[in-house]
Amino acid sequence: AGITRRPGTRYSALVPNLKGLERAIAVGVTDVAVFTAASETFSRRNINQSIEESLVTLATVCERAIREGIRIRAYLSTCFGCPYEGDVPTTRVGELAKRLVDLGVFEVVISDSIGVAHPAQVWQVLDAVTSYASLSQIALHLHDTRGTALANVLAGLQAGVTTYYASCG
C-alpha cells in the first residue's frame, strides 16, 4: 500500500485463499496469483488440502477477483514430477489446466517445482495441456536443479510458449 505506483505497471500478489485476496484488494493489486498442484500428496503437504478441496477454494477466490476486475494467474505445481509420488500423469496436468482456465484465469503456469523436467517431457506435458487450453494461456515455471532449465526453455520456445517464470537463488 505504501509504494509509489507507476502508470502502466501491474501489481501482483500471491493469494492462497479468500482472506489473502481481501488483503490484496485492500492494497490495490491489479493481478493475483493462485496455486494448486498436480500431485495429491504435494497438495496435502503444501497447503493441507486435496487437489479437489484446493479447486473449491480457488473457485471462490477467482469468482471474487473477477468481480473486482483483478486478473488471475494460476500456478500448477509438480507438473513434471513430485518429490513424494514421482511421475505425474500428463493427462492429469492437462485436465487440471482446463479446470483452472474454466475458473477464469488468464494464464496457467505449468511448473517444474522440483527441477526434474527434461526437454522431451516438456513437449509431452505441453501436448497434454494444449489439448485443453490455448497455448497463449500457458506459461512455464522452470528450475535448474539438474542443469536442464535452459534446455527446457528451448523446448518450450519450440513448442510456442512465450512466457516464463523462474526463481532466483
Nearest to 85 by CA among 44, 118, 41: 41
The grid coordinates listed for 116 are 526434474
Question: String of b and e for 108-143 (b: at least 16 CB within 10 Å)?
Answer: bbbbbbbbbbebebbebbbebbbebbeeebbbbbbb
- As a whole number, mean pLDDT of residues 62-67 equals 98
The grid coordinates listed for 3 are 509504494
- pLDDT tens-digit series, residues 87-144: 999 999 999 999 999 999 999 999 999 999 999 999 999 999 999 999 999 999 999 8
pTM, whole model, 2 decimals? 0.94
